[in-house]
Each structure stands twice: as C-alpha cells, then as structure tokens.
Structure 1
Amino acid sequence: MTIGVFARAANVTTSALRFYDDCGLVRPASVDAATGYRYYSLEQLDEVVLIRHLRDAGLPLGDVRRLLAGPVEAAEELLAARLRTMEQAVEAARAAAAAALLAIRDRERAVVSLPGRVLAEAIGQVVAAADVTGDIPVLGGVLIEAAAAELTLVATDRYRLAVRSMYAEVRCHVPAAAVVAAATLDDARRWIGAQDSVELRFGDAHVRLAGPGGERRLSTIEEPYPSYRVVLEELPEPLTRVVAPRGLLLSAIGDDPEARLDLAVDGGLTIRSSAGHEPAAVPADVAGEPVAISFMFSTLHPALTAGVGPDVMLRISRPDLPVVVRSADDGDLTTLVMPAKAATPHGHRGAS
C-alpha cells in the first residue's frame, strides 16, 4: 500500500508515518529507489494502530518503544502508571481551575480596608443590639455593608436598631453585604482591634478578615436582612431635641434592668423610674415641644452606653415612635430605641 492509503487505513497522518520511520519505530515495507515512495504491508497495520492508541494515551515515544519490545505484564504496568499520572494531572488541573475561578470572582467582589481599631470600636457599638432570642436567626447577626467609601454595620432586636457608618477604602464594582452572627463578630473583636489595618473580603459563605496578625474567616448567615433604611427614612421630623451629658443621664436612669423609665421634657429633662427612685433632674439643652415618653431600661441603657463622647442627643418625633439616639460628637452612630407605653404625666403628651 502507498503511504497515503496505509495512513488512511491506520487512521494516522502521513507525516506521523514519516516520523515513525525517521526514529526507527516503524519502517516501510519497501522504498522505491528511484522515486523514494514508501510502501507498507497489511501486516504492519496492527502495529501502527497500536502505536496510535499509545500515543493517544499520552505515552512519550521512549515508553512506546519499551512497551512494544516488552512483555504484556510490562505494558500493563506502564499503562497503569501512565493512567495514574494523567488522573493526578486532571485533579491538579481541576483544583487549579477552581482556585483561578475563585480568584476571578474575588476580583469582582468588594474589598474593604480600614484601621482595625475603628472596626473593633464599631462592632462594640452595634453588636449588643442584635437579637439573642434566636426567634429570627438573621436578627442574631450583624449586617456588614460596603459601598462607595463607606462601611456600615447594622444590628437590631426589633426594639433597638443600631447603625454605625465609617469611612473605609472600598474597592468594588457593586455594593456588597453579608450578615455575620453577632457572637462570632464579637469574638473576633479583640483580634481585629489589635491589627493596624484590616482588609475585609466578601465571599460566597464567609467574610474574610486579613491583617498583619494573620487571617480570620467568619461564616455568614444566608438569609436576607430586613430593610433597615426603610425604618430610618420613614421617621418623621423630630419635634423635640434633647442634648444631655451622657454620664449624668446614665446615672439618673439607674441600674435596674426591669425598670420602666419615664422621661418628661419641658424646658429641662426629668426622669422617673418604676424602680422607686426619686425623680432625677438632668441638665439638658432642649429644643422643641414638651413631651413625655417612656422606655424600658433594657432598651435605653444599651443605646446610651454604646455611644462615645460626653454628650448624647435624643431626637423625639412622637411618644409612640422610635427615638433616634446619637452621640453628640459622633453623628455616624445612630441608634433607634422603641419607647414603652406608660402613664401620661400631668401636662405632657403620653405614649399611645
């Protein structure tokens, strides 16, 4: 058979047959001395087909030569070893492809950098507002949002809503958000505060924290967080603003966790407690209408202690709507506190 006919019969290329000839693997049955044409016999077909299979299996030429010259047992061992090598290569390629895909996805995700001390302080200010009952699992977490040049932490137990925003270096194509269990975030707070800077990277089921001291991965709660912005945006304009010394205010409300606190605002601030203490007057700057409003100690006290600075501001719209609590010199920390129903002190509006 001419080389072309034989190549078609063996399902190889004529260049492959010439290559096998040049390296002494399969010689033509005859070569025309005048023309140099190569001719092959039918008996050579099985050998060339076998070589094709071995080459398709990825065996290098040296192994093909040894396999053709050796016994069947040696061929089995050689092919089994080659198969193991190829399987290992496939697994390695699969792992490398998965890692590359993660890296590509990470490039599209938000990466946030800020001082560890700032993040730790923010966590401490909001984490106590998360729900501890477990009734609604997502409320047991802290929402972490990244957008533009700002990182925001949010926590609520339905009676309090704490929102802390801070400047951060944010690299992202679209806003990113994740919910991390409040206890998990609080456990990481000391480590975070010890880092000069912290990088947050949002993943599929975790938030990765990296700093000079190593790395932490915090698992996320895969449940949508309530739209806290709706609550903030729907609050009416405050009718009464009170700015008071935080320390004196905390002293006046006492330390009884079961107490109901009645606040009377009429040019000044007076606090009455159901714990039986004498009414306490707190020096305050008041603007707006007189109002009477009540809180449970367990909601008001944490909101006051979370603030920073010597003064605190209360923005009151109505006695039956959430009150905005802000540190007077730290406007990026906002806490909403739900009032409690109480008896109406004489001369003031009471909660409905």
Structure 2
Amino acid sequence: MPHSELMPIGLFARRSGLTSSALRFYADSGLLSPAEVDPVLGYRFYSADQVARATVLRQLREIAMPLAAVEAVLDAGADEASRLLDEHVSKVMEDAAAAQQKAAVIKSVLGNVPGLPITALKGPVLADAVEQVLTAAAHEPGMPVLAGLRIEASHEAVILTATDRYRLSTRTLVPAEPPRQTWAGTVDGDELRAAVAEIRRSTLVRLEAVPHGIWLRTADRVDRHCRLLPEEFPDHRLMLASLGEVTTRVTVSKELLLRALEDQPGERIALHVADHGVNVVSADDEHPGVPLPATTTGQDLQIWFELTTLYPAVSTAIGPEVMLDLRGNDQPATIRSADRGDLTTLAMPIKSDHSA
C-alpha cells in the first residue's frame, strides 16, 4: 500500500484515542499489528480501516477487559462478542460487590469498636421474612435506599420493611430472646439475600450492630456481615398511618388467585369484585376473565394493577387464603394472610384506562 494511504503512528494514535506506546504494546501482543513497517527506519504505519478495531480495543481496555478476552471479542461474531461482554461485566460486578463487602467488614473492625447486641431470631423464620419483604425492594437510579431492608428492633418485636414506592411490604417478627436494645437501620438488600441460605440453616441468628453494618452471628455456621445504607429510608409509618378507610374486602384462595394471574396475558391485570366472587381479567379483551369464588364485603369495585406489583404481593402472603383490603381504584391496596397479620404488603393500583 502506498505510504500516502497510510497513517504514521502519531496520527493513528490521535484517530483511535490510543497512545503511541499503547499501539506499540498492542502490536507486540498481536492484537493490532501495523499495516506496514519501514524496513530501514522501523516506522510503523496504519490504514484507515484499522481505526474501528483500534477504537473497540481501546473501549474494551477501558472496562478492564483482560488481553485474552479482548482478542476473543475482536475476533468473534456479534452474538459471541455480546456474550463475552456480558460475561466480563458480570464478573466485574461480582468482584466489585465482593470488594465492597470486604471493605465494609474492615471498616466494622477499625478502631476496635465492640458490636452492639440487638436481638436474636430463629434462622428459618428470619430467612423467610427477608425473602418475603424484599420483594418490595427495587434498584432505582439515584435512590439506593430503595434496595434496602429496614430493620427496627424494639423491646417487643422486630419489624422488617421494604418499599419501592409502588409497593410496601412489612413483617413483624417475635424475637427468640427479648431485644437488648432499641435499634433501627437500613441494611443492604443484596447482601441480605446472599446471606439467606446461611441464615436458613442456622437455628438461631443473633443480630449485632457495628459501625456501617450489622453482623448476623450464628453458633455453628459462618457469621455474615451486611452493610448499612446511609440514606434516609422513606417514612413508611406515615404512609401506613394515612391509609384511607377500607371500602371493599376480598378473601380468596391464594393458589387460585396466583393461577389466574399466571394464566392472564399482558402486563396489566384487573380485579372485578362483586357479590360472592372476583373476576381476574387482563387488558387484552380477546382473553376471557377467570372467575374465582371469594368472600366479599363492601362495594363492588374494578381495580387495575401491574402484574409485577400484584403477583409478588400475593405470592409471599402466608397461608392458604389471602385477604385484599381495597380503598377504591386509586388508593393503596393492603394484601395479607386471611388469618395472620404479621406480613402485610401495600400495592399501588394503576389507572383504569390501562395506562401506568
């Protein structure tokens, strides 16, 4: 190729965003060889059609991809390259989470500050409660606290709460031992989820507060540390206290309601409540509704929900029957067990015109 159609290394570096030294390194690594090398002076020249490869190479290194993986991506087809990228990002996120967890543990012991014993709970009960309540948590940009679980310990009970602003789930637990301290904090939900398996296999779990986190102490298993989230948790007590009067109450089989929700297509589901039953329908008029026998009191009502809001609230309810306390089609609905009140979920309906 004539030199007039080639770029010297300095110009190619500016075009690609790579430094000249980086280009020499990648040439020696076999990732990006020059189009030509002057046999006498050793000057390196690159062609215009190498700019795209060099740019992608730079971008892959910017996300800390190892050289071997970079070469695999550059030489792969679009689908395989996409899979390799997803695999790398997943690994980076796992490593970052592990580093964050280790840093939190280190911070918890800096200064040799003793932990503050809070309470003790039965492991299987705590594990179930964490999984149930965290269905109402969510990862929202700019609001990391919504991915957390609020723990409030008093001398009578331990209350777990999570909310994503469209749902609120709260469960009250009776401690295995009287709480030693009144304490409240918002714990990282992802780290609690990761600890659930260990918690479930432990007869008793003792909660101990330390700076920036809590320890889940067990007698016969590995202790787990979870970070505290510093952001202020939403005022869920005000939300619960401001609920309006219940105008319609429905008691229905949990299994039948879940099956009806699963059978309906679409993202939005309506409950038509009338005497002696509830009809579950979707926004798709081509599919018939599913009538369910139910005990109903109060006003007839049609209320719409996002399936992703209603289904987790019903599926985590305790017991064979679920009770829905409805306050109209634009007010939060309360969903809980028909015979136990220690787990309660609030779910926001959507507009009846099917728009979110």
TM-score (norm 1): 0.65
Structure 2 residue 216 is the aligned partner of structure 1 residue 220: no
Q: Tell me what 2:151 maps to.
A: 144
Asked if 1 retains the 8 angstrom alpha-carbon contact of 2:149 and 2:162, the reply is yes
- Name 2:310's counterpart in structure 1: 300
Q: Which has the larger radius of gyration?
A: 1
In the alignment, structure 1 segments of 5+ residues that lack a partner are 1-95, 345-350
From 119, 122, 129, the equivalent of 1:115 is 122
Q: Deviations over 1:121-174 (max 9, x none)?
A: 10110112101233311111111111122111111111110001110134334x
Q: Is the 8 A contact 2:329 2:352 kept in 1?
A: no
Aligned to 1:50: none
Q: Which position in structure 2 is the counterpart of 1:77? A: none
Cα separation, 1, equivalents of 2:331 and 2:319: 26
1:270 counterpart = 2:279: yes
| Alpha-carbon separation, structure 1, partners of 2:237 and 2:265 | 29
- 1:207 is aligned to 214
Task: Give the match for residue 164 of structure 1.
Answer: 171
Counterpart for residue 197 of structure 2: 190
Offset, 1:335: 0.2
The alpha-carbon deviation at position 110 of structure 1 amounts to 5.0
Does the 8 Å CA contact 2:198/2:222 hold for their aligned counterparts?
A: no
Q: Partner residue of 1:311?
A: 321
Tell me the matched-pair count.
Answer: 244
Q: Output the CA distance in 2 between the equivalents of 1:292 and 1:330.
A: 26
Partner residue, 1:337: 347
For 2:321 and 2:241, locate their aligned partners in 1 and report how far apart those are by CA, in whole Å.
25
Give, in whole Å, the separation in 1 of the partners of 2:150 and 2:185: 6
Q: Which amino acid aligns with 2:280?
A: I
Matched residues in 1 for 2:121 and 2:131: separation?
16
CA contact (8 A) 2:137 2:162 kept: yes
The amino acid of 2:252's aligned partner reads A
Instruction: Report if the CA contact (8 A) 2:118-2:209 is conserved.
Output: yes
SS at match of 2:259: helix
How do residues 222-241 of structure 1 correspond to structure 2 at under 5 angstroms?
A: 222-241=230-249
Aligned 1:73-152 pairs, distance under 5 A: 98-99=111-112, 102-103=113-114, 106=115, 109-152=116-159
Which whole-Å CA distance do the structure 2 matches of 1:142 and 1:183 have between them?
9
Query: Aligned residue for 2:253?
Result: 245
1:280 alignment partner, one of 290, 314, 327: 290
The alpha carbon displacement at 1:266 in A equals 1.2
**Structure 2 counterpart of 1:221, which letter?**
L
Aligned to 2:72: none
Q: Give the whole-Å Cα distance in 2 for the aligned partners of 1:325 and 1:227.
A: 20
Q: Is the 8 A contact 1:177 1:202 kept in 2?
A: no
Work out whether residues 323 and 338 of structure 2, in 8 Å CA contact, stay in contact via their aligned partners in 1. Answer: yes
**Secondary structure of 2:244's match?**
coil
Is residue 266–residue 282 contact of structure 2 (8 Å, CA) maintained in 1? no
SS of the aligned residue for 2:203 comes to: coil
Whether contact under 8 Å (2:248, 2:298) holds in the other structure is: yes
CA distance in 1, matches of 2:117, 2:349: 37
**d(CA) in 2 for partners of 1:137, 1:181:** 9
Q: Write the distance in 2 (CA, Å) between the matches of 1:219 and 1:335.
A: 25
Q: Aligned partner of 1:209: which letter?
A: L
Instruction: Decide whether the 8 Å contact of 1:134 with 1:140 is kept in 2.
Output: no
Partner of 2:90: none
- Change in Cα spacing, 1:139 to 1:258, as seen in structure 2 (3 Å) is farther
Q: 2:201, 2:294 → 1: CA distance?
A: 37
Amino acid at match of 2:253: P
The structure 1 segments of at least 4 consecutive aligned residues displaced by more than 4 Å after TM superposition are 255-258
Identity of aligned residues (%): 35
Shift of 1:253: 1.6
Aligned counterparts of 1:281 and 1:159: Cα–Cα separation in 2? 26
Alignment RMSD: 2.3
- Do the aligned partners of 1:115 and 1:197 also contact (CA within 8 Å) in 2? yes
